[in-house]
Amino acid sequence: MDRSPYRRTVPALAAQILGAATVLSILAACSTAGDFGRIDRDVATLAYQPADTTAGLASTLAISDEERDFQSRLQRFMNMDARSGWLADVTRKLRISTGKQPTEQDYFLWLRDDYSDSISAVYGRIGNDVDTDLLTLPGMFGSICAVERVDRQRNIAGDQIPTTPPETLVALEERRMHNQADIDRFGQALQFRYNSYSYALEQMLVQAPGENARYVDAKLSELAEFLGRSENDAYCGAESHVDAPRSRYAGPVSVTAPDNSGPVDL
């Protein structure tokens, strides 16, 4: 690239960088996430550690406020069941009995064993767990969007500013890859949690259908929309809408949990 036009005002350069990043953010909403850095589908990430930035040229770069916020939110999301909660309980029992990591079917097995005295309690627990995840996702998606924007702005600035050392350009790509690896890990964890809840609901509908299932089904549809956005790398903007899968019920689904758990016609 010709970097001879060196005398450019900082405001003009900043406007070009931010303007181009805005256009790229719109295009990124339509892109498909790759498989870089994804963990095995059957492995639950229980104790998250950030990508290693202590080695390589990426360690020489400043850590942006957006990256710090993302790492903080990511650690809370990945570890929110590490000490207490269903995933921690399932993992402890599996390690004692088999030494294996949990799969997407183990959440249902845990529910069946721990809530065997009340069908309504099973549905209530699934709904509460989905709700807990939903509360974290708007902030998480906004934080990921901010990190992706910073990475784009860095690359544009690196290309436009002629004093950028070559090793800094390499470091920028390393940092982008580190960030993308963590974003992919979040997406995989979200997929694991959604699949676990979905499997549990479907098995409950087979074994003990109850009216409370309609509420859980509606909540899972909300979670499915976030999952669809994650799979399409559409973290930026609430307008990025992905159609949720068809409800497990033919009729309208209520978002208010009923008090009874009597049988319903499926």
Q: What is the pLDDT of residue 84?
A: 56
The amino acid at residue 46 is L
Non-local (6+) Cβ contacts of 105 within 8 A are 196, 199
Give, in degrees to the nearest 5, the angle at Cα 7 between 4 and 12. Answer: 115
Residue at token pair 């990025």: 240
Whose CA is closest to 141, among 240, 10, 262, 52?
A: 240
Residue 124 tokens, joined: 């209530």
Confidence of residue 258 (pLDDT cuts 50, 70, 90): very low
pLDDT tens digits, 83-139: 557 777 777 776 656 667 778 898 898 888 877 788 899 999 999 999 999 999 999
* Cα distance between residue 253 and residue 266, in whole Å: 12
Mean pLDDT across 209-234: 94
Q: How confident is the model at residue 162 (pLDDT cuts 50, 70, 90)?
A: very high
Q: At what angle do helices 166-207 and 212-231 cross, to 10 degrees?
A: 160
pLDDT tens digits, 42-87: 334 444 445 454 456 667 788 999 999 999 999 888 887 655 577 7
Q: How many helices (H) and strands (E) does the chain have?
A: 7, 0
What are the backbone angles phi and psi of residue 48, rounded to the nearest 5°? Answer: -75, 135
Tell whether the model's pLDDT for residue 33 goes beyond 60: no
Q: Would you tell me how many other CB atoms lie within 10 Å of the CB of residue 126?
A: 28
C-beta atoms surrounding 154 within 10 Å? 23
- How many residues comprise the chain? 266
Tell me the CA distances in angstroms from 143 to 62, 63, 136, 219, one per residue in order. Answer: 18, 14, 11, 23
CB 143 within 8 A of CB 183: no
Token pair listed for 185: 């890990």
Handedness of CA 63, 65, 66, 69 (dihedral sign): positive
Task: Give the pLDDT mean for 215-238.
Answer: 93
pTM: 0.71
Angle at 131 between CA 89 and CA 70, to 5 degrees: 85
Q: Is the pLDDT of residue 32 over 90?
A: no
DSSP three-state, residue 28: helix
Q: How many CB atoms lie within 10 A of CB 104?
A: 19
Contacts of 83 (CB under 8 A, 6+ apart): none
Query: Rounded distance, CA 87 to CA 103, Å?
Result: 10
Quick one: pLDDT at residue 129?
92
- Burial of residue 47 (CB within 10 Å: 0-12, 13-18, 19+) is exposed
